[in-house]
Amino acid sequence: MRSQPPKVTVHVIKKGSHRTKFGGCATMVRMDDIDSAIVRELQRDARQTNRELARRLNIAPSTCLERVRALRARGVITGYRATVDLRTLNRPVQALLAIRIRPLGREVIERFKKFLTSLPEVLSVYVVAGGDDFLVHVAVPDVDRLHALLMDQIFKRREVVDCRSSFIYQHVANDVIEPLPPNGA
Amino acid sequence: MRSQPPKVTVHVIKKGSHRTKFGGCATMVRMDDIDSAIVRELQRDARQTNRELARRLNIAPSTCLERVRALRARGVITGYRATVDLRTLNRPVQALLAIRIRPLGREVIERFKKFLTSLPEVLSVYVVAGGDDFLVHVAVPDVDRLHALLMDQIFKRREVVDCRSSFIYQHVANDVIEPLPPNGA
DNA sequence: CGTGAAAATGACGACTA
DNA sequence: TAGTCGTCATTTTCACG
């Protein structure tokens, strides 16, 4: 399972200066270059061994382990997930549903959001400002199933006043999310 | 790092009948209940040890390892990713950009998609049918940065004819994606 | 599915700036 | 004092029977 060494060297410039003196929050800790590199690498492959990760970053395995644990404890790394292929899970048809609900209010929104996330067809729920209130990413086995989802589940809800569905031709997710600097630095 | 035993027993009914006799594709292999359970568990925690995974599923570690490898080789499991907290990466502001481009055509779409995914602010790109051509999920440090992204990057592109941006109040992703049965079964 | 050699983990104490 | 490193007992992996 553990990946083989593809020799991707990660260049790390400075090593020290870990904790900020005057960060916004009390528990705010600065991400130095090593932390960023660890987060980047673990987003690429969360199952590489600690030894391999350490070797890529040119630090000792024990140091690396400590860093990873700290990142997890700090809440920077929130979990480790296997990613799956939707086609092999019999869900090749994807769509985006733009839904408007009424009346707008915290409780109604929260309840409808809970409802959406409980549906197995739903991959992702965005609560948005602007013309629509919800954008829902769904994946289903076929078009019939999408129709059934709309008719038997979504439209049955009293709060739904409008729903436009768009087919998704392609969906590419940026698998490595980097920290962004505060300013144009 | 390895999680401690939270004693979540997974009930598996039938064990055998792994390969389909008449699947659609030649290399098509059916997902039995053990495979589904493995995929579900590894989506929840990709770093649990093989032993622990096997214990949850009430199968031998060697069997479990073989199953996981097969799922990876079959392309059901496409990778293992660490998930991160956008706030700790200094990207608390999220938005959805609905973009229309012209002229529509395979090359223009492909080129613009490549451009979008190369931007560090971009989390996810949907190529969709309907009124808009692209839906882009972005996360930035602040509103200024969003404005800068639109002005300095998106609107600079000649193919962009329209872009509406909506703020995202909340985004919840279904972290465990289950296989769906072919019919109403 | 069980076994066992080889490998990785992770706790601990020493070291350094 | 906070971060890093080397060591090693314990745990895990994974090829083979």
Residue-wise pLDDT for A61-89, tens only, equals 999 999 999 999 999 999 999 999 999 99
Label each residue of chain B as H, E or C: CCCCCCCCCCCCCCCCCCCCCCCCCCCCCCCCHHHHHHHHHHHHCCCCCHHHHHHHHCCCHHHHHHHHHHHHHHCCEEEEEEEECCCCCCCCEEEEEEEEECCCCHHHHHHHHHHHHHCCCEEEEEEECCCCCEEEEEEECCHHHHHHHHHHHHCCCCCEEEEEEEEEEEEEECCCCCCCCCCCC
Nearest neighbour of A76 by CB, restricted to B88, B117, B139: B88
User: Long-range CB contacts (< 8 A, 24+ apart) of A144-151?
Assistant: A145/A93, A145/A121, A145/B180, A146/A93, A146/A95, A149/A119, A149/A121, A150/A97
| Residues 106-135 (B) with a CB less than 8 A from some CB of A | 113, 117, 120-132, 135
Opening angle at CA B46, ends B40 and B49, nearest 5: 105
Identify the DSSP state of A80: E
Round the average pLDDT of chain B to a whole number and report it: 87
> Which residues in chain A touch residue B72, judged by CB atoms under 8 angstroms apart?
1
Question: What is the signed CA dihedral for A179, A169, A150, A98, rounded to 10 degrees?
Answer: 50
pTM of the predicted protein model: 0.87
Distance A62 CA to D6 C1' (A): 9
Segment B28-70, tens digit of pLDDT: 567 889 999 999 999 999 999 999 999 999 999 999 999 999 9
> What region does A92 belong to: left with phi over 0, alpha with psi -120 to 50, or beta?
alpha
φ, ψ dihedrals at A90, nearest 5°: 65, 40
Segment B102-138, tens digit of pLDDT: 999 999 999 999 999 999 999 999 999 989 999 999 9
pLDDT of B174 higher than 50: yes
Other C-beta atoms closer than 10 Å to the C-beta of B185 total 5
Nearest neighbour of A84 by CB, restricted to B77, B128, B135: B77
Distance B6 CA to C12 C1' (A): 27
Query: B153 burial class (0-12, 13-18, 19+ CB within 10 angstroms)?
Result: middle
Nearest CA in chain A to B32: A89
